[in-house]
Amino acid sequence: MEVDRVDGRTPNQLRPLTCSRNVLNRAHGSARWSQGDTILLAAVYGPKAGTRKNGNPEKASIEVIWKPKTGQIGKEEKEYEMILERTLQSICLLTVNPNTTTSIILQVVNDDGAVSFLENYVMFKMAYLTKKVQLLPSAINAASAALVDAGIPLKHLAVAISCGLEESGSVLLDPTKLEEQKMKAFAYLVFPNSVASILPEASLQVEGELLEHGMITSVTHGVMSVDSYLHCLERGRSASAKMSDFLRRSLQSRVPNDLPKTG
């Protein structure tokens, strides 16, 4: 199954990932996540006293603010905020710091700038699918790294990946904006990270499946048959293992290596 991708990747190949933490001085936790030319900056402030309006004071509340690269936020961005909020709520331990609010601010630094102006213009003309959407997986990854940096108690990490379904029925992982325009449908899948455990693998299974095979969030656009959705799931899952390894490595690098033990 040979698919020619514009940037010469194989269908399963992800764009190069980079993740740096603690990039902002004043935020309590921050991360810069780039996936190819898509770059996002996430900042975490908090936990701050008090929940949001109408929030449950027995739990911590999470607030997501999306800052687009230019212009004001519209319906799409509101939707991302909501999806992110729900996703992050499910990975955070909300009962550890009750009656507090944690704000996560996501700034789009670059939205797959590989696309030239002309192409952008053509795409704008085509515009038959929502644009910018492949930002969402990167945003979730960035937010997840920033939460870790801020030391917010988490159940586990979240790794997000986008899968595109071509007209021919083949699945491409991590499509660029340009590729996305040619897709029939796509799915954004968020998985828990693969955990290191002292337990034998069997005991980690919930009802015969590994925990990391569970899913946190799934967002789909376009028309997709059940079979191709399951296909996406399978491919996404295998790629998520790679991404969670990457996340683990990038988290390790920042921890000071020779902190002496406290007496």
Partner 1 sequence: MVADSKSAFIDQTVVPGDVVLDLSSMSNHTIKLGQGLRQDGDVISVMKAGKLRFSKPNKYWVESSNKRYVPCVEDTVLGIVVDQKADNFLVDIKGPTLAFLPVLAFEGGSRRNKPKFEVKLNRVFAFLKMGVSSSFTNKQGLECHRTENMVKSAGISSEKVLLLLFSECRFFPFSELNIIYFPSQVGKLLYVRVVKANADMNPELSCTDVNGKAAEFGPLKDGYMFESSTGLSRMLLSSPTCPVLEALGKKLSFEIAIGLNGRVWVNAEAPSTVILVSNAIMTSESLTGVQQRIMVEKLMQRVQ
- Say whether residue 202 binds partner 1 (CB under 8 A): no
What does residue 4 show for φ and ψ, rounded to 5 degrees?
-85, 120
13, 89, 99, 110: residue in contact with partner 1 (rule CB under 8 A): 99
46, 137, 164, 175: residue in contact with partner 1 (rule CB under 8 A): 46
Distances (CA, A) of 125 to 38, 72, 181, 200: 22, 21, 11, 54
Question: Are the C-beta atoms of 44 and 147 separated by less than 8 Å?
Answer: yes
11, 36, 47, 175: residue in contact with partner 1 (rule CB under 8 A): 47
Which segment (33-41, 62-70, 114-122, 195-203) binds partner 1 by CB under 8 A? 195-203
Binding characters for partner 1, 233-252, by CB under 8 A (x = yes): --------------xx--xx
Q: Nearest distance from residue 256's CB to partner 1, in Å?
A: 6
Question: Are the C-beta atoms of 137 and 188 separated by less than 8 Å?
Answer: yes
- Say whether residue 104 binds partner 1 (CB under 8 A): no
Q: Nearest distance from residue 207's CB to partner 1, in Å?
A: 15
8, 16, 208, 260: residue in contact with partner 1 (rule CB under 8 A): 260
Rounded CA separation 54/119 (Å): 45
- Say whether residue 261 binds partner 1 (CB under 8 A): yes
The secondary element (H helix, E strand) that includes residue 220 is strand 217-222
The separation between CA 209 and the C-alpha centre of its own chain, rounded to angstroms, equals: 23
Rg (alpha carbons) of the chain, rounded to whole number: 19
Which segment (81-89, 132-140, 144-152, 162-170) binds partner 1 by CB under 8 A? 144-152
14, 122, 154, 215: residue in contact with partner 1 (rule CB under 8 A): 154
Place of tokens 């499946």: 209
Rounded CA separation 42/90 (Å): 18
Question: What residue type is assigned to position 161 of the chain?
Answer: I
Q: Nearest distance from residue 187's CB to partner 1, in Å?
A: 23
Rounded CA separation 40/255 (Å): 22
153, 169, 214, 234: residue in contact with partner 1 (rule CB under 8 A): 153
- Say whether residue 28 binds partner 1 (CB under 8 A): yes
12, 56, 130, 197: residue in contact with partner 1 (rule CB under 8 A): 197
Compute the C-alpha angle 176/148/51, nearest 5°. 105
Other beta carbons less than 10 A from residue 127's beta carbon: 10
Could you say which DSSP state residue 63 is in?
Answer: E
Nearer to partner 1, 63 or 166 (CB): 63
Residues in contact with partner 1 by CB under 8 A are: 27-29, 46-49, 91, 93, 95-100, 148, 150-151, 153-157, 192-193, 195-199, 204, 247-248, 251-252, 255-263
